[in-house]
Homo-oligomer: A and B are copies of this chain.
């Protein structure tokens, strides 16, 4: 049996999508959590590229959260069944990545830039959400999943990312204007395995 170990900070952040994929697949993994900053500086020196998450697969290390997500999606069957289907999954993942353009700006911003960045993030996030709603509607009138007839990493990553968009944009209700996306988020959250994990996972601020 393959042994999996995920090492990430003790937050949801970029690592939560990976944890959810394991839960969704019903596959055991070790969920190692590094406390930041207390444990990080010492641990950082042991990492190949000075960053987390790291997935170990029978001891072999894979870095970069999206590379890890795609690896597990291919392994567990959450990545579409055809090349075209996979391209549609990739398209949604790329659209979701655009939230991080503003998240990164926020992360590296000076204090006096904050208000302007939040305002810009809201404008751009509304565009991204409108495009995602349109993309969702291309498939089964938006009443199923982003691609095909079953859950893929496009849905799971969307589920994870939309919980930080309200904080990024200063608008707690931002997703309410997109009814198909809201219903999708509920549908993903109601998956039994995901709901069970969300109910028992460590509570962290973000």
Chain A residues packing against B (C-beta within 8 Å)? 48-50, 57, 60, 62-68, 70-71, 74-75, 83-84, 86-88, 90-91, 93-95, 97, 101, 104-105, 108, 120, 127, 131, 134-135
As for how many copies of this chain the complex holds, the number is 2
Chain B residues within 8 Å of A67, by CB: 87-88, 90-91, 93-94
6 more contacts with CB within 8 A, not counting A60-B84, A104-B104, are A65-B94, A66-B94, A67-B94, A71-B84, A71-B90, A104-B105
Chain B nearest Cβ from A105, distance in angstroms: 6
Cβ B87 vs Cβ A49 within 8 A: no
Cβ A86 vs Cβ B105 within 8 A: no
Chain B nearest Cβ from A110, distance in angstroms: 9
Cβ A90 vs Cβ B70 within 8 A: yes
Chain B nearest Cβ from A80, distance in angstroms: 11
Docked complex Cα distance between A90 and B71 (Å):
9
Known contacts: A86-B71, A108-B105. The answer to whether A95 contacts B64 by CB under 8 A is yes
Whose C-beta in chain B lies nearest to the C-beta of A89? B67
Docked complex Cα distance between A95 and B51 (Å):
11
Docked complex Cα distance between A50 and B71 (Å):
30
Docked complex Cα distance between A62 and B50 (Å):
35
Whose C-beta in chain B lies nearest to the C-beta of A127? B50
Whose C-beta in chain B lies nearest to the C-beta of A70? B90
Known contacts: A75-B83, A120-B108. The answer to whether A49 contacts B90 by CB under 8 A is no
Docked complex Cα distance between A60 and B101 (Å):
28
Chain B residues within 8 Å of A134, by CB: 48-49
